[in-house]
Structure 1
Amino acid sequence: MTALALALSLLLLVIATALRAGGASLVSTPRADALHDAAEGSDRAATVAEILDDRSRIQPAIGMVHSATLVAAVLPAGWALAVDMDGFPLAVALTGLGVAVILVGDLLPRSVGRRSPRTLAYRLAPILKRAVAIGGRASNFLLEEEDAEEEIEQDAQDREEIELISSVLDFSDTIVREVMVPRTDMVTIRENDVSDLAVDVVVEHGYSRLPVTGEGFDDIRGIIYAKDLLRFLDEGTAPEAVSNLMRPAYFVPETKRVSDLLSDMQSGKVHIAVVVDEFGGTAGIVTIEDLIEELVGEIVDEHDTEEAMVEVADDGSLLVDARMAVEELSELVGVELPDEGWDTVGGLVLGLAGRVPHEAETFEVEGVVLTATRVQGRRIAQVSVTPPSK
């Protein structure tokens, strides 16, 4: 079954490659040349001339069919990989699959097609004609007339197609602060604790690596690995101080781009980094899994539990996890909420209050009513959101 799925992916990738190369060759072919060759008896040149009669349809139509075929090519192969892998190896394999599909199914055939105008267009004329017909009907069905006119621009269509497929890999604008686990959610262990206690913490929370603190969160001394604890237990020796088993910590600024950090962590074989703010204090931690999830989406393992970021209360208001991004809440309620100076809904409420609010304390911004429904110490955990009345 796995071999059949891979064969299907390969077939669809070949079709997508042909569509991309043929489409690039087609738009580089002057219609006058096609008409001339058709007059000399070339049936395929006549087909190309017919397609080129309305150039505005070519890019949106072929682009839609090509994109759909490329996505369809990834699915069977992705399923086949998921059968044999899970966790981090699966994420890496899916990332490699995405890169290969973009190169083989889009970028390389585009270059080949532009270097071979007419030749490839004539050879692939039948499949290109069908693609234009299918894509044209789909475009008319899915797009409004105004959107369809915007899709006409040839160069813009090329860029949109690349961005659509490569967006899963392009996360260069995201900084570490946006994906890290904040210090309020960190689970740590002190350097003078013994190994037995460290094992209990690992088992209780399900983490394979824990930051080791000295005098507090802003004094990270190292990282303790669960596998080092297990190796120590296997030896059957007496409990040891965590400070004797920990490894050096890897520190990164919270403004570092996640794309750069992923590259650094991969090359340095580092799995967890301590994030520091501009004052040198600990802002949080980030793992290589957090970075991979920015590429491929949430990776759920046996220790993860599903936590809803938004719940609908009985009165119709929204109960929102305070860690939700302000941008996401803005999209949810249909109102542009201020996000300068903070990233999360909890940060927005703190900014409006100017202090740590009390539970049930209410604030209003842009017609949206925000209520701190759960406050844990100096941290807001949950916020009730009432959108503006229509």
Structure 2
Amino acid sequence: MSALLLPAYPLALILLTLVVALEDAFFKTRGERLERLVQRRRPGARRLAQLQESHDSLTMAALMIRSTATVLFAIISFGLVLEYSPWPSLEVLLGIILTIAGVILAQAAGRVWGGHDADRLALVSAPLVAFVNAVLSVPASALHTLFRPLARALGQKRSDNLAVERSDQRSANGDHLNGTDDAVTVDEEWERNVMRGLVRLESLAVREVMVPRPDIVGIEAGSSLEDAVQIVMQEGFSRLPLYRGNLDDTVGIVYAKDLLAAFQNKNEDSTLESIVRAPLHVPETKRVGDLLREFQSRRVHIALVVDEYGSLVGLVTNEDLLEEIVGDIDDEFTASEPLVRRVSEQEAVVDARAPLKYINEMFNVELHAEGVDTVGGLILYALGRIPHPGETVSDNGLTMTILSTTGRRVRQVRLLHGESPTGTDAEDHTPTAASA
């Protein structure tokens, strides 16, 4: 037995460190952080999200495992001291010192490990943690039920104190109760949305926020200054690409202020080519956060988005990036018709450009397809051809009926949740098509 104590001590120390690291990783990989992992379809992310839904049970299970590991470590530490200590009168003190030192070391190492590699640890260990959580679910639930009255009492007391404090602050400022409450609620909600937007910047690709190629307004090289001014006044854009033949051969970017200055001077040598500025090209897979930093360092406000073959697929401006943080910014030139018009809880009429992520949030579904970001893209992916009005695509319990098209583009789509005429594969959520 005594021969096992020496290897048992470092093993118990490693076990305690691992338990602390996993606990720290699991409770850090939550909220927006976990949502990003699910959106990226990381292996184990969905299982982890399911585990986080049973937060109370998971917390109690973690407490039980950590307490058991600590007690086991303390027993081994005291056994080691009793077996090998040359000072019998100091055995208790040495056992306490050895236990405390080991627990502190394990806690520190576990926190550093869990904080540094939280996502990977949580994803890799999710199956094991799910099994342990299932085994300990009964005692964990019993502990949670036992301490729930105490938690409610403390929570109620804290809430009452906060209510009194807020009431005193409102009285001191002389504000109306309802008005102040509404203002605080709106401000807090706006701040939360901004924080979510900032977090999303690091996970979004440029192709998810760009203006797609068919919607780009440009000026053909060789056009007169008068024609260019007319386009700027008609479209309301301050920066337009200048191209030869088609948008794949973009010469540069024409700024409205440069154009108006050249037009006002009426210089015979002034042409669009003479005032054009060099364009910034970025790949469609570039992260939005990286592009925003590049905009700041280069002091530019617009970039042309290209695919892996070098073809132009879209255009992105600093306003597009800003809208991902604070929401849509409408000006006098922005079309008033929204991308999504909610008809009822189960129905909506949307522009085909509506992002799938918004539809997923609206109907609590999981629409996705490789390389697809919009409703229109998902319909084209499902049909494999140019669609016609009246055709229907079903995916994940959501029926998408094409209302209108323009040329080869889908324009408006009706979404109906809960009714699918053709059905959907529940495992891979493969979209299916049917003619109405």
Instruction: Indicate the TM-score class for this superposition, using the shorter chain for normalisation.
Output: 0.5 to 0.7
Q: Which has the larger radius of gyration?
A: 2
Matched, 1:167 2:196: yes
CA distance in 2, matches of 1:165, 1:281: 33
1:290 and 2:320 equivalent? yes
Q: Alignment identity in percent? A: 41
For 1:167 and 1:308, locate their aligned partners in 2 and report how far apart those are by CA, in whole Å: 22
2:242 maps to which residue?
212
User: Where does residue 251 of structure 2 map in the other structure?
Assistant: 221
3-state secondary structure, aligned to 1:217: strand
Alignment of 1:80-229 (within 5 A): 133-135=160-162, 166-170=195-199, 171-229=201-259
CA distance in 2, matches of 1:255, 1:356: 25
Alpha-carbon separation, structure 2, partners of 1:163 and 1:229: 41
For residue 346 of structure 1, report the CA deviation from its aligned partner: 0.4
Q: 2:412 matched to 1:382?
A: yes
Give the CA deviation at 1:132: 6.9
Which residue pairs with 2:39 in the alignment?
A: none
Aligned to 2:260: 230
Per-residue CA deviations over 1:25-57 (Å, capped at 9, x if unaligned) read xxxxxxxxxxxxxxxxxxxxxxxxxxxxxxx9x
* Residue number among 348, 353, 362 corresponding to 1:323 in the alignment: 353
Q: How far apart, CA to CA, are the structure 2 residues paired with 1:368 and 1:168?
A: 26
**Distance (whole Å) between structure 1 residues aligned to residue 417 and residue 195 of structure 2:** 35
Structure with greater contact order relative to length (CA < 8 Å, sep ≥ 6): 1
Of 287, 298, 303, the residue aligned with 1:257 is 287
C-alpha distance after superposition, 1:261-295 (max 9, x if no partner): 11111111111100111111111001111112222
Report if the CA contact (8 A) 1:191-1:241 is conserved. no
| Between 219-228 and 361-370, the greater mean CA deviation after superposition | 361-370
RMSD of aligned alpha carbons: 3.0
SS of 1:167 mapped into structure 2: helix
Q: Is the aligned partner of 1:347 residue 2:377?
A: yes
Kept in 2, the 8 Å contact 1:337–1:365? The answer is yes
1:145-168 deviation line (CA, Å, top 9, x unaligned): xxxxxxxxxxxxxxxxx9888434
1:134–1:285: structure 2 CA closer, same or farther, 3 Å change rule? farther
Compared CA separation, residues 241 and 235, structure 1 to 2 (3 A): closer
1:302 partner amino acid? E
Residue equivalent to 1:372: 402
Deviation at 1:251, TM superposition (A): 0.4
Distance 2:202 2:300 in 1: 20
Cα distance in 1 between the residues matched to 2:246 and 2:321: 26
Aligned to 2:149: none
Quote the offset at 1:305 in angstroms.
3.0
Whether the 8 Å contact between 1:327 and 1:339 is mirrored in structure 2 is no
Q: 317-326 vs 364-373, which deviates more? A: 364-373
Match of 2:334 in 1: 304
One of 287, 293, 301 as aligned partner of 1:271: 301
2:233 partner amino acid: V
Cα distance in 1 for partners of 2:371, 2:266 equals 51
Structure 2, unpaired ranges of 5+:
1-55, 57-156, 166-190, 421-436
Amino acid at match of 2:251: R
Structure 1: how far apart are the matches of 2:322 and 2:228?
Answer: 27
Change in CA separation of 1:136 and 1:213 when aligned onto 2, cut-off 3 Å? same
Question: Structure 1 residue 136: deviation in Å?
Answer: 9.0
CA distance in 1 between partners of 2:160 and 2:374 (Å): 46
Distance in 2 separating the partners of 1:164 and 1:365 = 28
Deviations 1:169-221 (A, max 9, x none): 33211111111111111001111111111101100010000011112121111
The answer to whether the Cα contact below 8 Å between 1:321 and 1:381 also exists between their aligned partners in 2 is yes
| Separation in 2, partners of 1:344, 1:299 | 20
Residue segments in structure 1 that go unaligned for 5+ positions in a row: 1-55, 57-129, 139-161
Post-superposition Cα deviations, 1:301-356, rounded to whole Å, max 9, x if no partner, equal 23223321222569x84211111111221232333223333010000100111011
CA contact (8 A) 2:352 2:375 kept: yes
The separation in 2 between residues aligned to 1:229 and 1:131, in whole angstroms, is 63
Alignment map for 1:55-70 (pairs within 5 Å):
none
Partner of 2:214: helix, strand, or coil? helix
Distance 1:353 1:209 in 2: 36
Paired positions, count: 239
- Within 1, Cα distance between the matches of 2:269 and 2:412? 40
C-alpha separation in 1, matches of 2:397 and 2:270: 57
Question: For the structure 1 residues 137 and 354, does the alpha-carbon distance in structure 2 shift closer, same or farther, using more than 3 Å as the test?
Answer: farther
Partner Cα separation in structure 2 for residue 384 and residue 137 of structure 1 = 49
